Amino acid sequence: MSPRARFYRDNLGIPLVLALLVFCLFDLTNIDRVISNALLDPSTGEFILRRSQWFETLTHKWPRVIPDWTGELAIIGALLSFIWPRLAKYPQGVRVTEHAHLAPLLRWTTTYRRDLFFVIVAFALTTGVIHYLKAHTSVYCPVETTLYGGKELRYEWFENFNLLHKAGDGRCWPGGHASSGFTLLALYFIARRYRWQHAKALLGAIFVLGMVFGTTRVLQGWHYMSHTFWAGIFVWLSTLLVALVFYGRTQLDSEPQPRAVRRNVAVGAVRIGQKNAPAS
């Protein structure tokens, strides 16, 4: 299999197969409801952690800091990246920044400007995709439906989907909190670009973070489990698209490029062999 085919099999084919599995196993069955029903308090009929303020703060409000600060730092870094090339023309300005220990930071942002803008665009696109799907499917959260004490009827996303217009007021599919964790997948693609040896470990950590973000909302009754899976799939595909635009496939190939054999060594060996060979 060619590197191109392997790349698209792993990064596009597998997510699409997972999307089909999630659709068949969750959207066409009642597994989501079985999972959510198991999280109800039998005595009250409510989700056990729905009204827990400490759980809401610990798992929903505070964790948002991670993706929020990542995006904000990328924006700040991208703006700073334009300073050093202009400042370098003025020796006095260089001396001032060196004295203030700002020069290394400014040089770093200039060097990695493309990566900083990649994070910004990837975050923007994935957020836009998730918001589009929420508005154009109008799926209500479990606790908002009549199944769990709400007033709205439960529908699957494909029953309400409208390509061009908002489908209604529901805003629950895919999972928004889970998607905010999965947006950090942008960092994984940067790690792949630089062949970072711990890129796979970073990928695993980001997936765990996204799943934790999504699962905690399931425990509170604000999402079904499949909403988290769909969030991860859409964020991955959106981030992959942006990565291909910014870097191209060859820079994202996870396989390290083999080093070329030094021809001068081989030539030297031949010469030595020729020198020691007996005369014919």
Ranges of beta strands (E only) in 50-162 are: none
- Please give the structure tokens belonging to residue 207: 């997936």
CA distance 97 to 171: 48
CA distance 63 to 153: 31
Give the confidence band of 254 by pLDDT, cuts at 50, 70, 90. Answer: low
> Are 252 and 192 spatial neighbours (Cβ–Cβ below 8 Å)?
yes
174: preceding bond cis by omega (within 30 degrees): yes
Residue 2 C-beta-side C-alpha neighbours within 13 Å: 5
Which tens digit of pLDDT belongs to each residue from 68-106? 999 999 999 999 999 999 988 888 888 888 888 899 999
CA distance 148 to 15: 32
CA distance 72 to 274: 64
Mean pLDDT is lowest, of 163-177, 211-225, 236-250, 258-272, for 258-272
Consecutive H or E run containing 126: helix 113-137
**For the residues 154-158, what does the mean pLDDT come to?**
95
- Please give the structure tokens belonging to residue 139: 């799926």
Give the confidence band of 244 by pLDDT, cuts at 50, 70, 90. Answer: very high
